[in-house]
A = this chain, B = another copy of it.
Amino acid sequence: MSKKFNVSNPSGFPEFTLSEEQVRREWVAIIEDIFQRHGFTFMSTPLVEREENLLGKGGEAKEMYVLKRLLDHDDDNTHSGNALRFDHTVPLGLYVARHFNELNFPFRRAVIGPNFRGERAQKGRYRQFDQCDIDIVGNESLSVASDAQIVAVMVEVFSALEIGDFVMRMNHRKVLLGYFEKIGVDMEKLPVALKIVDDLEKLSREKIVENFGEEGISSDRAEKILDFVNFTGDTQKVLEFLISEKTDSDSVFNEGVDDLETLVKVLQAMNVNEDCYKLDLKIARGLDYYTGMVFEGQIVDHPKFGSVCGGGRYEDLAQMFTGKFLPAVGVAIGFTRLLRQCLDAGIVKVGKASPTEILVVAADDVSFAPALFVGQQLREMGLYVENFVEKKKLAKKFAYADKQQISYVIVVGENESREDKVMVKNLVEGSQELVDVESLGSYFLGE
């Protein structure tokens, strides 16, 4: 080697092993199927958008990667002005703005693909990670039943992944903000109060009261908020509690409670397993853009995984780009992180490194061409077949099949070929059988 390379993955950009990758592909197939069975349409927007659009209205700094052409290295003026997307939601807003007239509303979008965040790397935080999103975008209005559909799809997805009991914790921003208003928290303190609630589960009660205090919210009010958000019980009990808190003057609070009531009714109508969702008044979701329902999914036996999916109602993303009122609701699964966590925790077991079912080998030089032909015929029947074509001893070919966990080896040999037969070895059972070439298809496909 003329030069020494550091070939390790750049920090924050890991990859799966081949057998892990097979699980990844199975998961993607499961999620794609469920998304599509619920009427969501996949689309793939570019990974790169204009920096100013990704930054949005606020223009605040985000942990984002901007692109520079290597050849412009020393010339900052040619800065491309483009950046890698950091989520699927802003690109959705841009897509809707670009294609508004072609789209049919409510627009149901699905996407599975990578996003990028230029964070300092740390365990469990990736700089490139796949997210699986579904969103429903309405034109001028969008019923609460859409929010329920999103929750129902998540319950179905996590049940299909078989990684343990899943629960979607659901709340409403208007319930929280309305309650803060009710007890007299200043209007301008509402966002910061929401943020404190969002961090609730990480801190002690004392610390939270202190945090409220630092923001000028009295300990009396802080205690009230804590009692309110910590109210627990089954769905019906929480709903009854919320209804009991309604008064004629609390229009924001009441709207939130009414939405949650409708949400639960729709989930019941869809026959969604009641163990898989609950009202949880502590859920606030950090992101600014949520305006109504918010939800966070959790694997019950693995609270340390954190929220495995999260989402809610937002009304400003497409509006920012279109000037139109396009209320939307969506959710994102943190796919890469979740899969890594499930693999590391042993909840998901890896199997073979490839889908190959049969290895075809030639026992002698004369059988090289016939072996190729046999392999090709089986492939045409839809089987997953590899021809081992390297000049190696038969034992080496079997060793390869063994390592690859390929169940069957077909040995094509001169003597057997004369009678139009091949030897089929079952490596799992350690058995072998002479099979007519003509009946290989029915042998493997059982037809």
Contact = CB atoms under 8 A, between A and B. Distances in A.
Interface of A: 1-3, 5-10, 13-18, 21-22, 24-25, 36-53, 57, 61-71, 73, 80-84, 94-95, 97-99, 102-104, 106, 108, 114, 116, 118, 127-128, 138, 141-143, 145-146, 149, 152, 265-266, 268-271, 319-321, 323, 353-356, 359, 368-370, 372-373, 375-376, 379, 382-387, 389-391, 400, 403-404
A65 B70 contact: yes
For the complex of A and B, 6 pairs with smallest distance between CB atoms: A39-B386, A269-B369, A145-B389, A69-B118, A13-B46, A41-B354
A379 B38 CA distance: 7
Contacts of A152: 376
B266 A372 contact: yes
A143 B46 contact: no
Nearest to A34: B379
B42 A21 contact: yes
A371 to B, nearest CB: 8
A73 B82 CA distance: 13
Contacts of A353: 41, 104
Contacts of A68: 65-68
B128 A48 contact: yes
A202 B422 CA distance: 51
Q: Quick one: copies of this chain in the complex?
A: 2
Contact of A25 (B42, B61, B67, B323): B42
B63 A43 contact: no
Contacts of A265: 369
Contacts of A141: 390-391
A414 B218 CA distance: 54
Nearest to A117: B69
A18 B6 contact: no
Contact of A270 (B21, B51, B323, B373): B373
Nearest to A371: B269
A5 B52 contact: yes
11 contacts: A13-B82, A18-B99, A36-B354, A36-B384, A37-B385, A48-B128, A63-B71, A67-B68, A80-B118, A104-B404, A142-B390
A432 to B, nearest CB: 21
Contacts of A146: 389-390
Contacts of A71: 61, 63-64, 118
B70 A386 contact: no
B39 A15 contact: no
Given A108-B386, A145-B389, A369-B265, A10 B271 contact: no
A18 to B, nearest CB: 6
A4 to B, nearest CB: 9
A144 to B, nearest CB: 9
B18 A118 contact: no
A384 B10 contact: no
A391 B270 CA distance: 17
A146 to B, nearest CB: 6
B372 A47 contact: no
Nearest to A119: B69
A14 to B, nearest CB: 7
Given A15-B44, A15-B46, A266-B372, A57 B2 contact: yes
Contacts of A270: 372-373, 375-376
Nearest to A127: B48
A386 B38 contact: yes
A266 B355 CA distance: 24
A63 B69 contact: yes
Given A70-B83, A82-B13, A390-B142, A114 B7 contact: no
A94 B14 CA distance: 12
A53 B5 contact: yes
Most chain B beta-carbon neighbours within 10 Å: one of A13, A37, A61, A152: A37
A84 B10 CA distance: 11
A373 B369 CA distance: 57
Contacts of A73: 66
A298 to B, nearest CB: 23
Contacts of A368: 145, 269
